Amino acid sequence: MSDAATRPMLVRDRAATALGIRVEVDEPGRAVLSMRVRADMTNGFDITHGGLVFALADTAFAVACNEDERVTVAAGADITFLKSTQEGQMLTATAVRRVRSGRNGLYDVTVTDETGDVVAEFRGRSLTTNRTLAAE
C-alpha cells in the first residue's frame, strides 16, 4: 500500500499488502489502485490469474465505497475479463460510485493495463452496515 493509505481499513488490509496493491487516489466515491503482476500471480497458461484481477478490482471497490466511518461491505460483484495480461505488466483499477441510496450502493471498476487497454470490467454492489471501524 502507498503512504497515502492511512485509513485504518487500508492499513489493516493484509491481502492488498501481500499483493503489492498501491492506492493512487482515495476520494469519496472514487478510487484508483495499481498492482504489478508478479510471476506468482500467473496461472498455468502464464497469464494473470483471474482471481487476482478480481482482487485488485474488489479492493478498489472497497476503497471507493468506504467513504465515511460506517463499515461498507460487498453485497455482490460481477466481473468480465476482456484481455489477458502477463508477468511484469502494471494493472490499474479505477472505481467510481454510480449510485448510493440509503444503505445500498452500486460501483463500477475498470481495470486497465499500462497501455490503457481494458483488461476487465467489474460491477460491485455495496451494503453499508451499522458498524464502525473503530468498533471492529
Please indicate, yes or no, whether the overall pTM of this predicted structure exceeds 0.85. yes
The CB density around residue 41, as the number of other CB atoms within 10 Å, is 23
Domain assignment present for 22: yes
SS3 106: strand
Which three three-digit cell numbers place residue 65? 465505497
Beta bridge partners, 112, equal 92, 118
Q: Which band of pLDDT confidence, cut at 50, 70 and 90, is reported for residue 134? A: low
Radius of gyration of the chain measured on its C-alpha atoms: 14
Of residues 15 and 67, the one with the higher pLDDT is 15
The answer to whether 65 touches 124, Cβ cutoff 8 Å, is: yes
Q: Which residue range is the domain that position 107 belongs to?
A: 8-135
Our count of domains for the chain comes to 1
Of 41-45, 77-81, 128-132, the poorest mean pLDDT is in 128-132
Q: Give the domain CATH number at 79.
A: 3.10.129.10
Domain assignment present for 3: no
- The span from the CA of 85 to the CA of 122, in Å, is 16
